Structure 1
Amino acid sequence: MNARDPSLPLQPDQASALGEFASRVWDEEIVPALTQYIAIPAKSPMFDAEWAANGHIDKVLRDAASWVESKKVAGLKLEVIRLEGRTPVIFFEVPATKADCQDTIVLYGHLDKQPEFNGWRNDLGPWTPKYEDGKLYGRGGADDGYAVYASLTAIMALDKQGIPRPRCVGIIETCEESGSYDLPAYIDVLKERLGNVSLVVCLDSGAGDYNQLWLTTSLRGMVSGVLKVEVLSEGIHSGDASGVVPSSFRILRQVLDRLEDSKTGRLLPESFHCEIPAARVEQAQATAAILKDEVYKRMPWACGADGGPVLPMTAEPVEVLLNRTWRPTLSVTGVDGFPEMKSAGNVLRPFTAFKLSLRLPPLVDGNEAALRLKALLEDNAPYNAKVTFVPDGRAGAYGATGWNTPDLSPWLSQALNEASEAHFGAPVGYIGQGGTIPLMSMLQKGFPAAQMVVCGVLGPKSNAHGPNEFLHVPYGKRLTAAVAQVMAAHP
C-alpha cells in the first residue's frame, strides 16, 4: 500500500458524516422509492415485447427522474433521452465543485428488470415488495434499481459536507437485462457531452460478502439465443413414428455435444477459452482465503441422493471462483416444443428448442463467439434435420463482450481501501463476477485511460434473476458512503 497522500480531502469525522447522511437518505427516501419501484413489472424488452405500450418502463423512468430533480442539487440538469424505436435513457449532469477540475465521473445503473421466475416464498413475490430484517425483497431492487438513487445520494453527501468533487454525469438505461443492445446508440449521441471521463462508477455488480467493499475485477461476456431442431411439420403418433423419425431432442443432444462435455461441463472449442491473467489468479487465491467454502455453500442446493446436498462441480474455492468468472459455461434457460406433462400424450414432437446462455471469459470477443457458435451448431446437421441457432442480439451485435479492469492507479487503490476501512472496518476485496455488463466494454474502448469502479449489492443469497431477490439495505448504505469517499479522493 502506498503512503497516504496528504492531499486526500477526507478526515475520519467527514467519512463518518458521509455514512450518516447516506443512511438517513436510504431510510427516509430510497427504501420508500424502491418499494414503489419493485411493485412495477418493468420487464426488459426481451421479456416484454409490448414494453412501450404497457408503459411500465416509462413509469419507473419518470419516477426516478422526478426523484433526482426533486433533490435540487446545485446546477443539476436532467434529460430523458428517447431515440426512435429504442428504450429511453436518463442522462443527468452535475457541475464540478473542485476548482480547476476538467475531469468527469460517469455513474451508471439501469431500471429494467428480469422476468418473474417461479419458486418465490409464499409471503413474497416479484412485484410485492416486503422489507424484513434489513432486506428489501422483490424483483429489481438490488439489480439494480437502487443505482440511480445511490448515485445521486453519494453526490449529495459530498456537497452537504462541502467536500470538493469533479463533474458527475449519470447514465441510467432501460435495456441492460436484454443485453444493452440500445445503449451503443445512446453512447454515440452522448459521447461529446460526457467530456473527459477519468472515472466510471458502475453499481450493477456483486459482493463476495456483506462485510467489506468489493471491487469487481472482471465480467464475463455472453452469447444467448435459441437453438431449434425441426424434424416434422406436425406431431404424429409415437408408436407409429418412433424408430423411423429421429427424435428432435436426441439430435439436439448430439449438436450440444459438439459444444460441451456433458460429464464435466467443460466447453470443448478452445476458441471459447482464454488465458487467465496471473494477477486474476492471485486475486482469486486471496478472495478464496476470505470466503473459503462459502463460495459454493451459499447456493440453494437441493437435497441429493444420499440426503445431503447436491455437490458442486468442484469444491476447491479457487477453482470455483475461476470457473464462474474466467471459464466459459453453458446453461439452458428455457425450452419450447414440449407440452405440459398433464397434456403430454404419446406423440413424437415436431421440434425441440432450447434457450441457450453461453457465458464467455472476459477476453473473448462476444460477437465473434456468437458467429462461431452458430456455425458449430448448424453445420452438418444429423439426419439433415433443420437446425437453427438465432442469437438474441440486434443490428449485427450478436454477443456481448466481457471486461477486464485496467490496472488501478495508486490513488484509486488507496482510496478504495480507505473507503472500505472507513465504512466497513475491513480492507477492500477483489472479485471477478460471472455476469455481464455490456457498458463496461463500451466505455473501456471509448475512454481507455479511465479508471473503473464496478461494485454492487448483490451478495450471498440476494438471488438476482431468481426467486426471493433482495437488496441488503445496510450494505447499500455503506456502499453509497464508500462510493462518495472514493469520488472525493479523485485527484
Structure 2
Amino acid sequence: MVAGGMDSGVLRDETSWRWRDALPSLMDFVRIPALSPAFDSRWDETGHLDAAIEHARAWIASRDIPGASIVVERLPGLSPVLVVDVPATSGSTALGTTLLYGHLDKQPGLDGWSEGLGPWEPVMREGRLFGRGSVDDGYAGFAAITAIEAVQAAGGEHPRCVLLLETSEESGSPDLPAYLDHLAGILGTVSLVVCLDSGAGDYERMWLTTSLRGLASVTLSVSTLRSGVHSGMAGGPVASSFRIARALLDRIEDPATGKILLPELHANIPADRIAETEAAAATLPGAWQAMLPLQEGMALDSEDEVELHLLNTWRPSLEVIGADGLPLPADAGNVLRPSTTLRLSFRLPPTVDADTAVDTITRTLTADPPRGAHVTVSDTEAANGWNAPTAAPWLADALDEVSDTVFGSPWRALGVGGSIPFMGLLHEAHPGAQFVITGALGPDSNAHVPDESLNVAFAGRITEGIAHILHRAATSM
C-alpha cells in the first residue's frame, strides 16, 4: 500500500499485464515509416505521419478510458499532433494539468542493421523490441496511457492528464510552438510535465534528466580567390582558405584541449547539478569508455569521471558537422581552392542565451579577417537549453517511493548533452510546473542508428513508476 490508499501490488500487476497487452500494437507502430518532416519533405503526401497518428488514436480509443477526449489537431501546413484529455479521478486534489509528452515521428531507417533486423520490421529478441521508433519514441504514448489505466484499476487517483504526441520532434519540433499557442486554452495551467523521451544511465533505476544543453549553429565561409588556381602557380603567395578557416576557429576553440574560448558561451554550474553529477558518476564508473565506440588507444578529454559528465552536459563544445568546397580525395587535384565552407555546431550550457551565443560567434569569426579574406557567417540557428526547477517535496517523495517500490535502487539525475526544445518552451509558458523528464533510452538503445531497440521490461517498470508519480501528484500537490 502506498500513500493515499493505492495498492502497490495491484498497481504492479495491472501495469504488467496492460503493458504486455500494448506490445503488439507498438510492434505494428514500428512498421510505419513515419519519417520526421526534415527527412520527408512530402510527408503530407506520403501519409506516413498521418498513419502513425491514426494508429495511436485507434489504439487509445480502443482502451475506452472513461471521459477521455481524443482529438487529432491539424494546423495548416504543420505536422499533426494527437491530444488525449483524461479527466481527473474523483478523489484527486491536484490543481492544474499534468501534461504527458511523446512523439510519433522517426529518424531515417539507415542501412547496417544486424542480421535478421531492420528498421520497419519489429523483432522481439532477448527481451528487446528492435525496430525504428520502438524506443524513440513510439513506446511513450502506450506507456502513458497504460500508467493512467493502471492507477485507476489499482484504486488510485490521478490529476487531469493531457497526453500530447507530436510528429516533428526529430526535426527539432518546429511545429510545436504553434500548437502550444493553439492549445493554451485546453491545457490551462500545467503543474506537472512528464516527458518520456529521455535516457537512462542503466536499467537498474529511474533516471531523471534535469538539464538540456542549448544549440547554436552557423555556416562559416572563407573565400580568397574568385576561382581556383593551379597550386603550382598560386600555392604559397596566396593563403589557403582552409588555413584561414582554421585560424578563425582557433579564436573560438583551443585546438589542443577543445575548450571554448568565448566567455559568453560558458555558464556557472549550479551546486545541485554538480551534486547530481557526482552521484551519477559514482553510480556509473567507466560509463563513457564503455558507451562510446572509441578507436583503440583513443583517450577521452578528461580522466575525471565527473568532469566527463560535465563536459557533455554543462560545458560548451564545438563540432564541424559539414563542409563544402572540398572535393572527395579521389577527385582532388593540385588546386588552390577558392573557398572553404564549414558548418559549425555548438552545444551550449543549459542557461546560456543561444541568441547571444550566435551573435558572439558571428562577431568573433568575422572581425578583422586574416589577409583580407572574404569571411561570412550565414544560416544561423539558435535554441536555448533548459535547467529543471528544484523538485518539490511531494515529487522528491514520489521519486523515493518509485525507487523503493518499483526498482529497489535509488533514482539518479543527470543532464543530457542534447536538446529537447519542447522543455524550454513549456518552462517559459508554465514557470511553476514540476518536471519529470525520464525514459527508456538506455545506453545500448541505439536511437537514430541501426539496431534501435526497446528494453521491454525496463519500459514496463518506467511505466509503473510514472503511475506512482501520477497518484502522488493527485494526492499531494
User: Does residue 486 of structure 1 match 2:474?
Assistant: no
Q: Deviations over 1:95-135 (max 9, x none)?
A: 11133644211011122333456654455444454432222
Alpha-carbon contact 1:299-1:461 (below 8 Å) kept:
no
Q: CA RMSD in A?
A: 2.4
**How far is the alpha carbon of 1:293 from its aligned partner?**
1.4
Cα distance change on mapping 1:71 and 1:231 into 2, 3 Å = farther
Cα distance change on mapping 1:414 and 1:337 into 2, 3 Å = same
SS in 1 for 2:77: coil
Cα distance change on mapping 1:372 and 1:323 into 2, 3 Å = same
CA distance in 2, matches of 1:117, 1:245: 42
**How far is the alpha carbon of 1:296 from its aligned partner?**
3.4
User: Does residue 301 of structure 1 match 2:294?
Assistant: yes
Aligned mate of 1:256, from 234, 243, 249: 249
User: Does residue 343 of structure 1 match 2:338?
Assistant: no
Q: Which amino acid aligns with 1:375?
A: R
Q: Which residue of 2 aligns with 1:307?
A: none
Q: Which residue of 1 aligns with 2:91?
A: 99
**How far is the alpha carbon of 1:467 from its aligned partner?**
3.7
Aligned mate of 1:20, from 16, 39, 45: 16
Cα distance change on mapping 1:249 and 1:134 into 2, 3 Å = farther
Alpha-carbon contact 1:22-1:481 (below 8 Å) kept:
no
User: Does residue 428 of structure 1 match 2:428?
Assistant: no
SS in 1 for 2:31: helix
Aligned mate of 1:360, from 348, 370, 391: 348
SS in 1 for 2:107: coil
SS in 2 for 1:46: coil
Q: Which residue of 2 aligns with 1:326?
A: 314
CA distance in 1, matches of 2:64, 2:226: 62
Q: Which residue of 1 aligns with 2:275?
A: 282
Q: Which amino acid aligns with 1:426?
A: S
Q: TM-score, normalised by structure 2?
A: 0.91
Alpha-carbon contact 2:5-2:155 (below 8 Å) kept:
no
Q: Deviations over 1:203-228 (max 9, x none)?
A: 11111111111111111111234333
Cα distance change on mapping 1:46 and 1:158 into 2, 3 Å = same
Q: Which residue of 1 aligns with 2:430?
A: 447
Aligned mate of 2:158, from 161, 165, 188: 165
Q: Which amino acid aligns with 2:61?
A: E
Q: Which residue of 2 aligns with 1:67?
A: 59
CA distance in 2, matches of 1:380, 1:28: 61
Q: Which amino acid aligns with 2:443?
A: P
Q: TM-score, normalised by structure 1?
A: 0.89
Q: Deviations over 1:57-80 (max 9, x none)?
A: 333233223322332222222222
Q: Which amino acid aligns with 1:35?
A: V
CA distance in 1, matches of 2:45, 2:338: 34
Q: Deviations over 1:342-365 (max 9, x none)?
A: 333334434333332211111111
Q: Which amino acid aligns with 1:33?
A: D
Cα distance change on mapping 1:27 and 1:371 into 2, 3 Å = same
CA distance in 1, matches of 2:53, 2:385: 27
User: Does residue 81 of structure 1 match 2:73?
Assistant: yes
Alpha-carbon contact 1:421-1:428 (below 8 Å) kept:
no
Q: Which amino acid aligns with 2:404?
A: E
Q: Which residue of 2 aligns with 1:315?
A: 303
**Which consecutive unaligned segments of at least 5 residues does structure 2 have?**
none
Q: Which amino acid aligns with 1:63?
A: H
Alpha-carbon contact 1:391-1:399 (below 8 Å) kept:
no
Q: Deviations over 1:306-341 (max 9, x none)?
A: xxxx11111211111111111111122233333333
Q: Which residue of 2 aligns with 1:265?
A: 258
Alignment of 1:403-422 (within 5 A): 403-422=386-405
**How far is the alpha carbon of 1:251 from its aligned partner?**
2.1
Q: Which moved more, 1:114-123 or 1:82-91?
A: 114-123
Percent sequence identity is: 45
**How far is the alpha carbon of 1:262 from its aligned partner?**
1.4
Q: Deviations over 1:346-403 (max 9, x none)?
A: 34434333332211111111222223222322333333333333346xxxxx411111
CA distance in 1, matches of 2:327, 2:131: 30
Alpha-carbon contact 1:26-1:477 (below 8 Å) kept:
no
Q: Which residue of 2 aligns with 1:402?
A: 385
CA distance in 2, matches of 1:275, 1:122: 47
Q: Which moved more, 1:134-143 or 1:226-235?
A: 226-235
SS in 1 for 2:347: strand
**How far is the alpha carbon of 1:236 from its aligned partner?**
4.2
User: Does residue 11 of structure 1 match 2:15?
Assistant: no
Aligned mate of 1:113, from 83, 102, 106: 106
CA distance in 2, matches of 1:442, 1:43: 23
**How far is the alpha carbon of 1:16 from its aligned partner?**
2.0
**How far is the alpha carbon of 1:232 from its aligned partner?**
4.2
CA distance in 2, matches of 1:389, 1:227: 5
Alpha-carbon contact 2:86-2:162 (below 8 Å) kept:
yes
Q: Deviations over 1:271-302 (max 9, x none)?
A: 11111111111111111111111243221212
Cα distance change on mapping 1:173 and 1:238 into 2, 3 Å = farther
Q: What number of residue pairs does the alignment pair up?
A: 473
Q: Which residue of 2 aligns with 1:146?
A: 139
CA distance in 1, matches of 2:100, 2:388: 16
**Which consecutive unaligned segments of at least 5 residues does structure 1 have?**
305-309, 393-397
Q: Which amino acid aligns with 1:345?
A: G
Aligned mate of 1:35, from 30, 37, 40: 30
Q: Deviations over 1:228-283 (max 9, x none)?
A: 33344554433334334432322221221121111111111011111111111111
Alpha-carbon contact 2:30-2:133 (below 8 Å) kept:
no
CA distance in 1, matches of 2:243, 2:39: 28
Cα distance change on mapping 1:160 and 1:403 into 2, 3 Å = same
CA distance in 2, matches of 1:207, 1:223: 25
Alpha-carbon contact 1:137-1:470 (below 8 Å) kept:
yes
CA distance in 2, matches of 1:260, 1:372: 13
Cα distance change on mapping 1:468 and 1:253 into 2, 3 Å = farther
Cα distance change on mapping 1:369 and 1:181 into 2, 3 Å = farther
SS in 1 for 2:383: coil
Alpha-carbon contact 1:21-1:157 (below 8 Å) kept:
no
Aligned mate of 1:52, from 37, 40, 44: 44
